[in-house]
Amino acid sequence: MTSPSPARSLFDPAVANDPYPFYAYLRREAPVAPLGLMDLWGIARHEDVLRVLRDPETFSSVVGQRRGDGEELPSMLFNDPPLHTRLRSLIAKAFTPRVVELQRESIAARSKQLVDAMLAKGDPDIVLDLAYPLPVMVIAHMLGVADGDHATFKRWSDAIIENVAPILLTGDDSALADVNQEFDAYFSKRLAKLRREPEDNLLSELVHVETDEGKLGELELLMFCRLLLVAGNETTTGLIVNATRALAEYPDVLQRVRGDLTLLPAAIEEALRYYAPFPATFRRTTREVEVGGATIPADTRVLVLLASANRDERAFEHPDEFRLDRGTNRHVAFGMGIHYCVGAPLARLEAEVALRDLLPRITGVSIVPGQAAALLRPGGPKSLRVTFTTP
């Protein structure tokens, strides 16, 4: 029998529901190789993924997102030093533990409301009832969106999230032109108000933050608001859904964690490793380069397979088992190097608060069968019906 070809298999919808056997094949047979879609090469092993993410000079993050005039937009995620260094230093100064901690109370209140309502329903849906609305609310709160504007904000979030993958692949964001215009108009007004009257939220901190790098400009601020929706919403939804999915597959782990909630942080780290919510990220080579014995040509796009690295048998013992006792968990779910996820503490907090509410109130969870199509969707399911057993 011939081995599956990487070219067909990674993008074959049939493997998207469970890409892990295919990642294992890539790690074994083609750890650094073309994937057969456009100019994309895949990087599948933990060691090689670290090598790529730690070398931004050779592996650039400028992979898409151009203005009509071809100029790069000032988005932190899609830029290299020195622009990335400037944006990151300003943003890190505003995105502090204090600003994250400011969210705890409102996350807890909202999470409790959502969990109460979900458990009272006959047909709970872990995405629609909990994992999707929670992060959208948190980001709206951080940006100081008024309560009356939440429905509009959610509509923009939905549109932006829906279009992330095609925009990343093609660099063409014309499908979002109207939404971006509405979004920018709304937040330009908010920025003007915050300049006059500071508030206690992230956006206000960002408006006023100043370092040796100066201050953030209007377009930089608007791009960061958009980036938060792309980077912080669906990923966090994915973490809550994936953790639930893993606990459905490992009922013994669920029992241990609900019996001892101090195990929750370890369970969340393992969920991040086991089902990486942001399974891959892009880079572009700035020169011909050798990685893991293969030579990648210059100006080639590379798909850094974080989810595959997280199951690399060279880096993790029994990588296909969900274990609470991994000690230091060297997963790369939040990336590595200069672009390491700025929102990691917030994502961990959201997942912890939601699961701390949910787990003591259930004795078991299972995924309603027959929803493979939902799981296949890039970026995770839009809806996932579950059954809870309660004490």
Closest CB to ligand HEM among 30 and 231? 231
Interactions with ligand HEM, residue window 105-164 (CB under 6 A): 139
Does residue 231 bind ligand HEM (CB under 6 A)? yes
Does residue 242 bind ligand HEM (CB under 6 A)? no
Q: Which stretch binds ligand HEM (CB under 6 A): 148-156, 157-165, 247-255, 330-338?
A: 330-338
Does residue 292 bind ligand HEM (CB under 6 A)? no
Does residue 333 bind ligand HEM (CB under 6 A)? yes
Q: Which one of residues 60, 111, 235, 310 is an interface residue with ligand HEM (CB under 6 A)?
A: 235
CA 83, CA 250: separation in Å to the nearest integer? 44
Does residue 232 bind ligand HEM (CB under 6 A)? yes
Does residue 74 bind ligand HEM (CB under 6 A)? no
Closest CB to ligand HEM among 77 and 246? 77
CA 151, CA 128: separation in Å to the nearest integer? 15
Residue nearest to ligand HEM (CB): 343
Rg over alpha carbons for the chain, rounded to the nearest Å, is 21
Q: Which one of residues 32, 118, 136, 239 is an interface residue with ligand HEM (CB under 6 A)?
A: 239
Closest CB to ligand HEM among 15 and 131? 131
Closest CB to ligand HEM among 50 and 293? 50
Q: Are 97 and 116 in contact (CB under 8 A)?
A: no
Interactions with ligand HEM, residue window 44-73 (CB under 6 A): 61
Does residue 241 bind ligand HEM (CB under 6 A)? no
| Minimum distance from residue 240 beta carbon to ligand HEM (Å) | 8
Interactions with ligand HEM, residue window 191-220 (CB under 6 A): none
Does residue 278 bind ligand HEM (CB under 6 A)? yes
Q: Which stretch binds ligand HEM (CB under 6 A): 274-282, 285-293, 295-303, 378-386?
A: 274-282
Does residue 347 bind ligand HEM (CB under 6 A)? yes
SS (H, E, C) the chain: CCCCCHHHHCCCHHHHCCCHHHHHHHHHHCCEEECCCCCCEEECCHHHHHHHHCCCCCEECCCCCECCCCCECCCCCCCCCCHHHHHHHHHHHHCCHHHHHCCHHHHHHHHHHHHHHHHHCCCCEHHHHHHCHHHHHHHHHHCCCCHHHHHHHHHHHHHHHHHHHHHHHHCCCHHHHHHHHHHHHHHHHHHHHHHHCCCCCHHHHHHHCCECCECCCHHHHHHHHHHHHHHHCHHHHHHHHHHHHHHHHCHHHHHHHHHCHHHHHHHHHHHHHHCCCCCCEEEEECCCEEECCEEECCCCEEEECHHHHCCCCCCCCCCCCCCCCCCCCCCCCCCCHHHCCCCHHHHHHHHHHHHHHHHHHCCEEEECCCCHHHHHCCCCCCCCEEEEECC
Closest CB to ligand HEM among 22 and 278? 278
| Minimum distance from residue 279 beta carbon to ligand HEM (Å) | 9
Q: Give the number of residues in contact with ligand HEM, rule: CB under 6 A.
A: 25
Does residue 236 bind ligand HEM (CB under 6 A)? yes
Residues within the interface to ligand HEM (CB under 6 A): 61, 76-77, 88, 139, 227-228, 231-232, 235-236, 239, 277-278, 281, 306, 333-335, 339, 341-343, 346-347
